[in-house]
């Protein structure tokens, strides 16, 4: 199967998934599970590409395996957080503002503000596990080994930081306090840093193939969103308002790449 056909079929799978999800949202009136689908949807595209692509089996197994471990772990964590914490206030505020200011109904608002931007972004970010599984077959090289190591480091980094934050929040003595321990002592967003490492690692695995080198746009877009758009800026704007001492934490702690903390 040629590359264009594979990508077209993956796009069709993704659009179907998001359309069904949008229908579910109309019943539940809660779009929070979209965060889980963000990760699990990439696993679905990795599986589809595995069967449709013509790259070497070693590369396909490596890309699918790493993507599956990352996506199932993150998707499961986001589902648990949704069930434990309830609806995400960011989405509630976004939809509520559109309904109040523009007169949009729930279906219109969720389609325009949630489904429409996230579906194409997911497809682009997921390019490494799609293009990297397209032919022709190329043997795994040193770049792929480095990429696999970086992806594993990212998965560990993200998993540990999520566990540390969950444990911190579960302690009632920490209510209103700033999480600045463990990995969070070295970067304000260790989970985002781990996420970026995973996808840059998958890109390096894919980059040994002729098509895979073009998947650079995926991790580049993800990193930009985490640092400049919907990731760190959204979180930090809220924490500046709700956590005493957060400004001092910002002064001491690297914003993304782990670094030794500065003196207060």
Q: Each residue of 236-262: pLDDT tens digit?
A: 988 988 888 899 999 999 999 999 999
Residue at 262 is within a domain: no
> pLDDT at position 89, please?
87
Q: What is the dihedral of CA 158, 162, 165, 169, to 10 degrees?
A: 170
Using CA atoms, how far apart are residues 10 and 78, in angstroms rounded to an integer? 24
Residue at 182 is within a domain: yes
Number of domains in the chain: 1
> pLDDT at position 263, please?
81
Chain CA centroid to CA 79, Å: 14
Residue at 260 is within a domain: no
DSSP category for residue 111: I
Q: Give the DSSP H/E element, type plus range, for residue 97.
A: helix 89-102
Inter-residue contact 258 to 183 (CB < 8 Å):
yes
What is the token pair recorded at 106? 């729930």
> pLDDT at position 264, please?
64
> pLDDT at position 54, please?
85
Q: Which domain holds residue 41?
A: 3-252
Residue ranges in the chain whose pLDDT is less than 70? 264
Residue at 70 is within a domain: yes
For residue 56, give Cα distances in angstroms to 5, 128, 134, 218.
Answer: 18, 15, 9, 21
Residue at 257 is within a domain: no
């Amino acid at each position: 199967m040629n590359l264009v056909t594979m990508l077209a079929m993956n796009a069709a799978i993704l659009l179907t998934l998001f359309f069904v999800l949008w229908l579910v949202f109309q019943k539940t009136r809660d779009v929070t599970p979209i965060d889980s689908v963000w990760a699990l949807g990439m696993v679905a595209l990795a599986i589809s590409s595995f069967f449709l692509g013509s790259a070497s089996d070693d590369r396909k197994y490596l890309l699918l395996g790493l993507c599956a471990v990352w996506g199932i772990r993150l998707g499961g964590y986001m589902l648990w957080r949704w069930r434990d914490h309830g609806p995400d206030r960011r989405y509630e505020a976004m939809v509520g503002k559109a309904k109040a200011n523009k007169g949009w109904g729930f279906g219109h608002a969720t389609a325009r503000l949630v489904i429409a931007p996230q579906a194409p972004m997911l497809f682009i970010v997921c390019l490494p596990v799609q293009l990297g599984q397209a032919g022709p077959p190329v043997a795994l090289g040193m770049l792929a080994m480095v990429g696999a190591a970086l992806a594993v480091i990212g998965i560990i980094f993200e998993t540990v930081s999520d566990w540390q934050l969950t444990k911190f929040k579960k302690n009632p003595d920490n209510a209103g306090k700033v999480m600045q321990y463990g990995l969070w002592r070295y970067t304000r967003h260790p989970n985002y840093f781990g996420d970026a490492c995973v996808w840059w690692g998958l890109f390096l695995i894919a980059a040994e193939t002729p098509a895979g080198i073009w998947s650079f746009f995926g991790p580049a877009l993800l990193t930009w969103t985490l640092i400049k758009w919907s990731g760190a800026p959204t979180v930090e704007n809220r924490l500046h308002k709700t956590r005493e001492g957060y400004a001092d934490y910002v002064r001491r702690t690297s914003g993304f790449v782990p670094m030794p903390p500065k003196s207060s």
